[in-house]
A = this chain, B = another copy of it.
Amino acid sequence: MIKPSPTYHLLIEGDDGRCLACSPEDTILRSLINGGLFVEANCGGRGTCGKCKVQVIAGQVTNKEGLPIKPNQDNTYLACQIYPQSDITIRLKTAEASQKGQALDIVSDGGAPLIKKVVLAPVYPTVDNHYSLQDMIGQALAAPGAVGGGSSSPVLIDDSAMLRRLAAVVETKPELITVTLLDNKAMAIEAHDTSSVLYGVAFDIGTTTVVGMLVDLNVGKVVEVRSRNNPQASLGADVISRIQATHELEGGLERLSQLIRYCLNQIIAELCTAAGIDPNQVYAVTIAGNATMAHLVLEISPSTLVRKPYAALFKYMSPLNPQDIELEINPQGKIMVLPNIASFVGSDTTAAILAVDQDISETPMLMVDLGTNGEMVIGDGNKLYACSTAAGPAFEGAHIRDGMRAADGAIADVVITEQAVLVQTIGSAKPTGICGSGIVKAVAELVKAGILDPSGRFNKSAAAKLPVSLCQRLKNNDGQWEFVLVEGKQTASGTDISITQADVRQIQLVKSSICTGIHFLMEKLPPETVFKVCLAGAFGNYVDIDSALRIGMLPGFKKECVCSVGNAAGTGAVQALLSADKMQRCVTIASKVGYLELAAQPGFQNRFLKNLSFPKA
């Protein structure tokens, strides 16, 4: 006889004090995820990334075999390694919270809007002038006086959902009826004049961070911005481990899909609350995201992406109903997933190209969009080529021992002087870790100081020649060399914050993939072409250009050619939401950008190995 496992209570201290069910069969991490909580677990619960730390306040936990388990130094446990044996009270180390972003200064270009409302004064049929109510709306829309009138192709309201709405709308015979048009096709119908209210949300779904921008489509302006951690991170930090989770976890695809949809809905709700509007006033959503995210949000298996030849399942997606992906906006609204380019080069790149006008530019450009993945696009209005590389979540703190996101307490800037190491943390808080921009800067400073040699190894003999205040920071910790940025007595956790040899290797891998990608893209264009270089993406936005040049990430470029363009993908998603012409340009971009599969380029391996080195100081 199978004895059912007991169920315990799992109480979470903190803001919302939720109480979940948990069982000795499941890890605490699994119970937290099942309960819809966001817990960072870059390794997918394998116990290796050390990110899913929880503090156990009360109750008994064991390892899988039911044996006692010791807490870590800081009195925490990895949630993926512990099993409850009683009711448990825990405190999460990372809080689930959204970040308020700055409202972007993106405004409509004044061209034809993608979405507009048309207010009609329909002429109801009479016995003598008889037509269906469907025809009534069609006639009113086609009338030369109507805002959307005089169109050569008549606007038809002929799908069953719209007709059911029409039946409800005409029930009271309102004098005015508002029809919402998407690219001149009717998408929604409402009684009375509702034209004063028309909002949309543009999303940039990143592997690590999801950004939502609320757009007032009448004014043509972003009014609120919110971002959240992508809750899929609890099933893996990078796209590869998430795609694996779709195969390895039971219902993995559905679960990943639900996690991101839940996140989008949370952001929508937050944006609406902040702007004081009802989610029903949101009629349209654009989604830019990397190819894996686009597949997952649609619950379309991304498995072809990880099998040779790494093909995406789709490029183009016709507008969806909110119900299709369970988004809580106006039920008559439409969701537009921007088109993907190829393989891992997704609609975020399409949107970024749009945002920097690379597809219509006369000057050749190189765009490097760095997030958890890196995408690079080269070319101009005539021809564009793109490639993708696993820039990796290193820039976002994963696979870096003391890595963390750009949050309060993260070391974001490092200067190594002749005598000392100066660090700057976000919010000037006590240091808790090091974020992407800090890591690159630290490595660049270590290279500059000669503490790292061009091969990426700590140069012990060079370090020995430095003043003792620096030299003593190079330590051997359990057989691995590391350079201490902040000593334990000054950090929040009481332990050193360092750059380890393994951390340096991670940065070398990322740096080499980016500059190898750039190398092969450059071969597509005539030599000596002058480029403008745009750094885009969350990381691109914060990286110190000098440091990037110092470690050789942008080989052969001069500082004056390089500029940061911020979250270009998000900007593009907003622009496509605002303009029919720009939405159409996205389709053209996706069809005309040539794709380069880096791994298939002759000499790729050699080039990649060569690019691991840092330039000589």
Contact = CB atoms under 8 A, between A and B. Distances in A.
A597 B125 CA distance: 12
Interface in A563-591: none
B314 A597 contact: no
Interface string A136-152: 10000000000000000
A526 interface: no
Contacts of A126: 309
Interface stretch (A109-117, A158-166, A407-415, A528-536): A158-166
Contacts of A343: 130
Contacts of A159: 317-318
A412 to B, nearest CB: 38
Nearest to A309: B127
A300 B169 CA distance: 12
Contact of A131 (B163, B303, B320, B342): B342
A126 B130 CA distance: 59
A457 interface: no
A343 to B, nearest CB: 7
Q: Is the interface of A mostly helix, strand, loop or mixed?
A: loop
A615 to B, nearest CB: 31
Given A164-B299, A301-B171, A318 B130 contact: no
A523 to B, nearest CB: 16
B163 A313 contact: yes
A319 to B, nearest CB: 9
Contacts of A105: none
A101 to B, nearest CB: 29
Interface string A291-319: 00000001111011000111111111110
Contacts of A136: 311
A422 interface: no
Query: Which of A128, A163, A308, A340: most chain B CB closer than 10 A?
Result: A163
A166 B311 CA distance: 13
Contacts of A57: none
A133 interface: yes
B309 A125 contact: yes
A69 interface: no
A134 B315 contact: yes
A429 interface: no
A132 B312 CA distance: 5
Interface string A161-193: 001101110110000000000000000000000
Contacts of A340: 132
A50 B557 CA distance: 93
Nearest to A291: B132
A356 to B, nearest CB: 24
B320 A160 contact: yes
A314 B130 contact: no
Nearest to A157: B314
B170 A133 contact: no
Contacts of A599: 127
A123 to B, nearest CB: 12
A135 interface: yes
A597 B300 contact: no
B125 A311 contact: yes
B324 A167 contact: no
Contacts of A167: 300-301, 303-304, 313
Contacts of A310: 127
Interface string A443-487: 000000000000000000000000000000000000000000000
Interface of A: 125-128, 130-136, 156-160, 163-164, 166-168, 170-171, 298-301, 303-304, 308-318, 320, 324-325, 340, 342-343, 595, 597, 599-600
3 smallest A-B Cβ distances: which pairs? A134-B314, A127-B600, A127-B309
Given A130-B309, A132-B314, A158-B318, 19 more contacts: A127-B310, A127-B597, A127-B600, A130-B311, A130-B342, A131-B311, A132-B312, A132-B313, A133-B312, A136-B311, A158-B314, A160-B300, A160-B324, A164-B298, A164-B299, A167-B303, A167-B313, A171-B301, A171-B303
25 contacts: A125-B309, A125-B311, A127-B308, A127-B309, A127-B600, A130-B309, A130-B342, A130-B343, A132-B313, A133-B313, A134-B314, A156-B316, A157-B314, A158-B317, A159-B318, A160-B298, A160-B317, A160-B324, A163-B298, A163-B300, A164-B298, A167-B303, A167-B304, A168-B301, A170-B313
